[in-house]
Structure 1
């Protein structure tokens, strides 16, 4: 079976969770079954008709056209939409009203991103959600048939389970407790709010992540806090990143919203507790004391949770145990079963 993987054209011009998800899924699929070949499609050189099945990652950024093209060819389509949990019934209703108004004003020559996402979800033969919260958002916000939605959480790369703190501490000279935040530097990720929350806590803050040109001024505001240090961006496979997770006393992700953040899984795999936004699809049974969730703008709650975890750290092994089952091999096996369900006659053919 030949599987074509697609997303929006600029996907790999930056680094983030989606990029890791796509790479790791492709690699795990190709190691799983010699009769299955998964590859990134270059639409400028390859025809979708060359593939037995198309898997589109992200329902946004114009990706509905990919789904439409595959559907027109009669190809089965799997869609990993990455829908934010904030899409509930009322938000969907407002978006549909806005879409109708936009259509009337523009003589129906304008289509909203909501309408495009909704159409992509409707056309897909199977939709993969990362958690129960995302599935509910897909159903309630976009009126998608619940029966065609499966839940497969992301995996964690193995290097985070074996990470040790010594490399990071040797490279940086940081020897005491510190908080870590990994992600793009931006108001949406809320590093400034995190820095303010930790003011006077005696818990230094280390930031790792890229910064876009338009957010350089934001970064400078964050760095006005003398207890904040920015290390720039690190590649996902860089051993220093895994070592940073292992060295940190607590990892924070106080974003305005997250779907299924890989950095949280990676921190837990390294044995480090996490404080993150409550607006997320990520849920791990039994993790309430190690994975704390607070409102992104609750500075007092954020500070209290981080200081508590840093001052009374859980055993590393107990933290890692929470995410032992989150492997990319397991994800690939579940996804491959879906492919075979949609293209049973192609099983055994490459």
Structure 2
């Protein structure tokens, strides 16, 4: 069975969660004997593969699904649909799609139409959690039987990371709040800085900053408590060690589907305060995982202080995500490949 991975063309020109997820998924399923690679569309034909796995439902990825289905290839789609797509949002989007279509003689389609097209054509849709599954059903009218829930996996290195490595390499000692993600208003790092003026926590930022976000970065760095370490590769041991060394991990972004960084922080035994605009749901996790609205700095401050002062036992935090280790998650993904291949 030969599996090809695809997403939008410029994906791997950036550093981010989706890029890391694709590479980690590929390495994990390879360990189970699956022949898998990222498709180079300039050199390979889709028909050279037995299954196509598409990551992301935006940026024209519906065209990949269309092309593969025209060749009678089975397609698995990991769409990364925001939980904000409820029934009402779907109704409004379909109305807008209809209006735009009529006004342009159906020569223009909306992003909603592109996402739904990919979801409709895919043989199997993999949702990262129950909230994303609900959004796919309610917002895009996809049959529940077509959707399989398989969360992101976590590499073993995050469970065994040594906090002292980070401290010795960076010289950062004492308690600090860690934020990992692209430096941008969407990721909302400034909310952490503003929320923690008293007491004066150290704040460590890890992530790339694009040209369009340089002013935002400089605003962050005006605060002397902020230390920016730039972008780190997902496999860099310093990243795993940073998760283990932090007192609290914060991610108050405006929206996250199923953030890898949160899982990796918990695997390192570090409690998390994150955005409530997310599909991530861990049962009985309140002692180590708190959710706040992205623009509620008062609640953000309260939760960070509470978790830092009454830090939960590391092993108890790690247990929250033990089932997300890559060996188990990869087995579920391979089972999907084998089922689709057999049905095809």
Task: Please classify the TM superposition score into its range, dividing by the shorter chain length.
Answer: over 0.9
Gaps of at least 5 residues in structure 2 are none
Deviation per CA, 1:124-153: give whole Å up to 9, x if none: 010000000000010111111111100001
Partner of 1:89: 87
List 4+ stretches of structure 1 deviating above 6 A. Answer: none
Partner of 1:208: 206
Aligned length: 344
User: Is residue 12 from structure 1 mapped to residue 12 from structure 2 by the alignment?
Assistant: yes
Partner of 1:24: 24
TM-score normalised to structure 2 length? 0.98
Separation in 2 of the partners of 1:194 and 1:106? 44
State the Cα distance separating 1:171 from its structure 2 match.
2.3
1:246 pairs with one of 244, 247, 250: 244
Q: Secondary structure of the residue that 1:325 maps to in structure 2? A: helix
Q: Secondary structure of the residue that 2:258 maps to in structure 1? A: coil
8 Å CA contact 1:278, 1:295 repeated in 2 = yes
Q: Secondary structure of the residue that 2:145 maps to in structure 1? A: helix
Separation in 1 of the partners of 2:343 and 2:266? 40
Deviation per CA, 1:55-97: give whole Å up to 9, x if none: 1110111000000001101111110000011111111111111
Cα RMSD, aligned residues only: 1.1
Deviation per CA, 1:282-307: give whole Å up to 9, x if none: 11112111010111111010000001
State the Cα distance separating 1:202 from its structure 2 match.
2.4
Separation in 2 of the partners of 1:161 and 1:180? 17
TM-score normalised to structure 1 length? 0.96
State the Cα distance separating 1:99 from its structure 2 match.
1.2
Spell out the pairing of 1:93-112 with structure 2 (5 A cutoff).
Answer: 93-112=91-110
Cα gap change, 1:345 to 1:110, in 2 (>3 Å) = closer
1:190 pairs with one of 180, 188, 205: 188
Partner of 1:173: 171
State the Cα distance separating 1:345 from its structure 2 match.
7.5
Separation in 2 of the partners of 1:189 and 1:281? 16
8 Å CA contact 1:203, 1:307 repeated in 2 = no
Partner of 2:114: 116
State the Cα distance separating 1:324 from its structure 2 match.
1.2
Stretch moving more, 136-145 or 169-178: 169-178
Q: Secondary structure of the residue that 2:185 maps to in structure 1? A: coil
Separation in 2 of the partners of 1:338 and 1:229? 43
Partner of 1:314: 312
Q: Secondary structure of the residue that 1:188 maps to in structure 2? A: coil
